[in-house]
Amino acid sequence: MDNPVTSSVGDGPAFVEVALALPVFQTFTYAVGATPVRPLVPGARVVVPFRGRREIGVCLEARDFAPAAVTVKSILDVPDEQPALSPDMVELCRWVADYYAAPIGVVLRCALPALLTGAARPSPAPKTRRMAVLRAGGGVPSLLERDRAFARAVRQRAAYELLESLGGRVAAHVLLEQLRCSPSVLKGLAERGFIDLTDEDVDRDPFASRPRSAPPAHEPTATQRNAIETLRGASPGEVILLHGVTGSGKTLVYLEFLREVVDVRGRGAIVLVPEIALTPQTVDRFRAVFGDKVAVLHSALAEGERYDAWRALRSGAKRIAVGARSAIFAPVADLGAIIVDEEHEGSYKNGESPRYHAREVAVVRARLAGSVAVLGSATPSLETWANATRRKYRYASLPSRVGGGRLPSIEVVDMRRKESAAAPERASHGGVLSERLEEELGATLRRGEQAIVLLNRRGYAAFVQCSACGDVVACPNCAISLTYHQTPERLVCHYCRHQEAPGATCRRCGAATLRRRGMGTQQVERLLAERFPRARIARMDFDTTSGKWAHATILDRVGRGDVDLLLGTQMIAKGLDFPNVTLVGVIDADVGINLPDFRASERCFQLLSQVAGRAGRGPKGGRVIIQTRVPSHHAVRCAVAHDYAGFVKSELEGRSHPAYPPCLRLANVVVSGHAEDATADCANDAADWVRRLVEARQLAGVSVVGPAPCPVERVKNRWRWHVLLKSERPVPLTGLAQYFVRRFRVPAGHGLRVMFDRDPVALL
């Protein structure tokens, strides 16, 4: 060593570059000093002095020299025997930080359990909580019986019905809070034998107690075998789009491929699912085949459990990590494969910094770790599709359902005609349920089969409007109308959760002519209960799934046949495999189709295709009825015809002028603040700043659009403006992004903030 300030012992480096687990872009140089005993390689955790405190960081790389003109401090400790992150994980974190222009320390927090970054609170003592559970056999199914049983107990009825719609099992405090009633109501229900009140552990791991039945041992079909062979034959770093229609048996393909990767090659794997709670069936299938080799990473894990799972994966004691988007950072040793199931799902995009897309991170990690990435979907995202057609990704397809099953036939009911022809009293239902759908629902119930009913709008009514002056009741904090909820009765903002009691008169003109317009799931639930009083109905939406495992509880009831009609928002469209579901009804296909967002049509097409795919998965077959006012919209038309290629063709035309992904790369810069003027000014400055930079650096193929107010121009009392950066190639955008987030000065005052979102999934 010829550096005079060298202080290392032995052959180790003199200095190391350290990223602290803090939200700062900068990294820091520390001297190795005399004390460290353990190898200081990239990925090792270190304890360092920083601003008078001991902070935890990760060593990124060795350095022979320290930067001049800074006093370099020494590392205090190297706490672990083995580096916490493997070299490819260090590379991955750096890529995420660079590509998404996020502070490296924030990315490290995704890759390390909170207990290792010093971010974890001390783990609380195990607590129990009181649960209300519908008593088996204590049900009051029909409305008629209910009227009798609860004639003089209105509050008990409300609690009973809320508990029922919440899946039959929920923390007692949830009921009490939502209904604002006293515990005596629940006690009354318990004494009358309708419900049980029990105490259970808060941190009970629900997957530990789920049955782990052996899976049916299916022989792969010839088509499945082809797909499995393609995956087995893939070389390290390769990406394969597995395009299989709903019910084509993609899960079996994943399982057989992983058998080879894990059992034969002895490597590890990551399986990403859109949301653990919504896909318990998929998770169960992996656990059934691989048993103790699987670590299910879910949000209900306590910090200690999360750390245990992390260690077991890092050491190779467990070989497969199954989880939602954050599991892409699981420290699986010798990673052989990454599966991204339902790769088109928007939930793979992280909503806060680092704003990564788990599918894109999967592709990069596969390259860095020498693994094979499999992106599976019936309705691939246009980005993935474009990569497959450009031969960047390989393509494997399962074009038909297993066992000769046919895709369900889809019928369209044009709700425009119905409304104009309907008698006024029928129109008062707002044309919720067409005769056709009602008839098929009745027939399905009579045959003892199950139905799924989709309406992608929660609450009772979409909004409340004065029919005298047209005023719509809006949120005081957001530029959005309030949604009317009936149980409990209030107006709710779905953006900021503001709530208020519904007024009797219009706030603008004072007339007593407030009308509820547009329907939500609560209203459809009531209507279905009226029309089919004997049917057992379960509603699944944001409001009925406040408990962490409420989804799984409801879905288990459907699987056991305890539910005849499953009604819900988009959460009932994903991955469910119930052979006795023979009818799917879509109340309003048009929800969201006209949102001012370039992905609105794609989301609508995917949702309709996915929910239709829940029908007819058993030998009895199935049908789908879609109600719409825009039957000729290409999203509806192509979903009805099971025509993915047709949808892509017309959607790509729409995205070429003006250009949107996948025709180019996008970044959304959102400026928000308390004052409208200051926010607009700051957005203007940001746009000018970027334009000057693009010019100065002569960045070809980059354009700056805006600024303009965001489609939802105020949220939580913050005004919002945005600037769009469009680029033909990804590389210039990376440089631009990093320079912008580090150098652009946000003026002080007015609570101004700038958010940088690369590859946004929505522009609202």
Residues lying near ligand ADP in the complex (CB under 6 A): 218-221, 224, 244, 246-252, 402-403, 577, 617
Q: How far is the CB of 672 from Zn ion (least distance, A)?
A: 14
Q: Evaluate whether 235 touches 535 at the Cβ level (below 8 Å).
A: no
- In which residue are the tokens 């900021």 written? 496
Query: Among residues 216 and 424, whose Cβ is nearest to ligand ADP?
Result: 216
498: contact with Zn ion by CB under 5 A: yes
- For the record, the structure tokens of 397 come out as 């397809």
395: contact with Zn ion by CB under 5 A: no
Query: Among residues 247 and 520, whose Cβ is nearest to ligand ADP?
Result: 247
- Residue 312 neighbours by CB distance under 10 Å: 18
- For the record, the structure tokens of 472 come out as 């719509």
Helix (H) and strand (E) counts in the chain: 24, 29
Which of the choices Zn ion, ligand ADP, none does residue 475 contact, using the CB cut-off of 5 to 8 A by kind? Zn ion
Q: How far is the CB of 381 from ligand ADP (least distance, A)?
A: 16
Which of the choices ligand ADP, Zn ion, none does residue 246 contact, using the CB cut-off of 5 to 8 A by kind? ligand ADP
Beta bridge partners of 171: 131
Query: Among residues 55 and 342, whose Cβ is nearest to ligand ADP?
Result: 342
Q: How far is the CB of 713 from Zn ion (least distance, A)?
A: 12
Query: Among residues 395 and 495, whose Cβ is nearest to Zn ion?
Result: 495
Which of the choices Zn ion, ligand ADP, none does residue 244 contact, using the CB cut-off of 5 to 8 A by kind? ligand ADP
The three-class DSSP label of residue 695 is helix
- For the record, the structure tokens of 454 come out as 């989709």
The answer, yes or no, to whether the previous bond of 488 is cis (omega within 30 of 0) is yes
**Where does this chain touch Zn ion (CB under 5 A) — which range of 43-51, 197-205, 474-482, 672-680?**
474-482
Please give the C-alpha separations between residue 243 and each of 247, 390, 625, 675, 736, in angstroms, as whole numbers: 12, 15, 25, 47, 34
Q: How far is the CB of 578 from ligand ADP (least distance, A)?
A: 9
Query: Among residues 219 and 425, whose Cβ is nearest to ligand ADP?
Result: 219
Residues 6+ apart with CB under 8 A from 158: 179, 181, 487
Q: How far is the CB of 643 from ligand ADP (least distance, A)?
A: 18
Q: Which amino acid is at 606?
A: Q
Which of the choices Zn ion, ligand ADP, none does residue 218 contact, using the CB cut-off of 5 to 8 A by kind? ligand ADP
482: contact with Zn ion by CB under 5 A: no
Query: Among residues 473 and 567, whose Cβ is nearest to Zn ion?
Result: 473
Q: How far is the CB of 219 from ligand ADP (least distance, A)?
A: 6
Which of the choices Zn ion, ligand ADP, none does residue 478 contact, using the CB cut-off of 5 to 8 A by kind? Zn ion
User: How far is the C-alpha of 410 from the C-alpha of 232, rounded, in Å?
Assistant: 36
Residues 6+ apart with CB under 8 A from 560: none
Query: Among residues 288 and 474, whose Cβ is nearest to Zn ion?
Result: 474
Which of the choices ligand ADP, Zn ion, none does residue 493 contact, using the CB cut-off of 5 to 8 A by kind? Zn ion
Binding to Zn ion in span 39-98, by CB under 5 A: none
User: How far is the C-alpha of 353 from the C-alpha of 24, rounded, in Å?
Assistant: 12
Beta bridge partners of 717: none
Residues 6+ apart with CB under 8 A from 596: 711, 763, 764
Burial 27-49 (b: 16+ CB within 10 A, else e): bbebbbbeebebebbbbbbbebe
Q: How far is the CB of 387 from ligand ADP (least distance, A)?
A: 21
475: contact with Zn ion by CB under 5 A: yes
Q: Evaluate whether 57 touches 48 at the Cβ level (below 8 Å).
A: yes
Which of the choices Zn ion, ligand ADP, none does residue 496 contact, using the CB cut-off of 5 to 8 A by kind? Zn ion
Q: How far is the CB of 276 from ligand ADP (least distance, A)?
A: 16
Among 252, 412, 478, 702, binds Zn ion (CB under 5 A): 478
Among 477, 487, 650, 703, binds Zn ion (CB under 5 A): 477
User: How far is the C-alpha of 19 from the C-alpha of 47, rounded, in Å?
Assistant: 11
